[in-house]
Structure 1
Amino acid sequence: MANGASSAGHVDNSIVIAAPYDLVWEMTNDVPSWPALFSEYASAEVLQHDGDTITFRLTTVPDDDGAQWSWVSERRMDKEQGTVRAHRVERGPFAYMEIFWEYRPTAEGVRMRWVQDFHLNPGAPLDDAAMEERMNRNTVIQMERIKELVEQRAQRS
């Protein structure tokens, strides 16, 4: 965790995608394509790409009030180990946001797991518990969408 702090918010979700490992990896780590893969992102702008590390800006689709959120993240990918580690560079309301993605082949396909550890700053619009609940709800939606899109691509291949 950031600065040795323990996690105040923790989200851990996974889904099995019935598709080859290489396709799951390629589609879910192609950051510029995320606006088509995730329903929550309006844009994904690559700021720097150096080997397996990418720095990028995400901007959300407008919420019900018309507000959009934007932040910069850095992502380090290790395809051989099946892991991705990321963190927000521009943290906004977060004191820290650390993200771990894990990909594991199974008999049914690839188990994709997302773990997010975070803590919100005092004065943020939500507390850690409310953000954890929101993230758990949204992660399930996004994972189901990704599963459907990747499996559709696998069937066409």
Structure 2
Amino acid sequence: MNTSPQLSPHFSLREFTASATADRLNIDNSLPATLQDNATHTCEQLEKIRAILGNNPLIITSGWRTPALNKVVGGSASSDHATARAVDIRCPKFGTARTIARTLAASDIEFDQLILESPTLPSAWVHIGFRKGANRRQVLTKFAGDKTYYAGLK
């Protein structure tokens, strides 16, 4: 039984804050109350993504990250994960990360950044971030082992 508070109909606080790395390194990855609104907004946007992807379940591979966790996983110091405004997702029942990224980039969903991450690896994922207003709809690709972010989907 899932007793974690829901941030939206299909996404719980537990899955938004889950991290195997945090568990392994004993890092408390609890969401501060001051970021609850951001987390709820992000999960509300994930509901829209879920609908666009045929109502297939989304897997959040990374959501909220404390600064300590973000540093350990090599995240950018300015990462939207650290403000509860971004998630990394996969949706195997819909398709590959590249297919997901193409579908979301072509949709009318309001996102700030959409990054196709590590598209040549089987574990590829899509990073997507949301702001409340002033979303840039920036689409990028980042390859594993490369620090460069390339414009568009490569």
* Greater share of residues in strand: 1
TM-score over 0.5 (shorter chain) = no
Structure having greater relative contact order (Cα 8 Å, sep ≥ 6): 1
Larger radius of gyration: 1
